[in-house]
Amino acid sequence: MAAVYSSPPSDSSPLFFPFLQQLYACLRALFPSPVFCLFFYPESASYNPGLNNEAGTLMVLVPFKQQDLRWLKEILYNEKRVRKGFWKPPPQIWLGDVSKIRVLDPHFLHQTAEKLLRIPLNPKKNQNSAHPTTGILAIFVALNYCDVVHIAGFGYPISKSINHPIHYYGYDTMKSMKHTMETAKKKAL
What digits encode the pLDDT tens for the residues 65-121?
999 999 999 999 999 998 888 988 999 998 888 888 999 998 888 899 888 888 877
Of residues 127 and 108, which shows the higher confidence score?
108
CA 175 – CA 134 distance, rounded (Å): 19
Q: What is the mean pLDDT of the chain?
A: 74
CA 134 – CA 6 distance, rounded (Å): 6
Domain hosting 145: range is 2-188
The number of residues making up the chain comes to 189
> Quick check: 158 and 151 in contact, CB under 8 A?
no
Q: Within 13 Å of residue 181, how many CA atoms lie on the same side as its CB?
A: 9
The pTM score is 0.65
pLDDT, one tens digit per residue, over 42-55 is 998 888 888 777 77
Residue 76 has what pLDDT? Answer: 92
> Quick check: 96 and 50 in contact, CB under 8 A?
yes
Is the dihedral angle over the CA atoms 91, 96, 98, 103 positive or is it negative?
Answer: negative
Residue 156 has what pLDDT? Answer: 54
CA 120 – CA 133 distance, rounded (Å): 15
pLDDT for residue 10 is more than 60: no
Q: How many domains does the chain have?
A: 1
Measured distance between the N- and C-terminal CA atoms of the chain, rounded to whole angstroms: 42
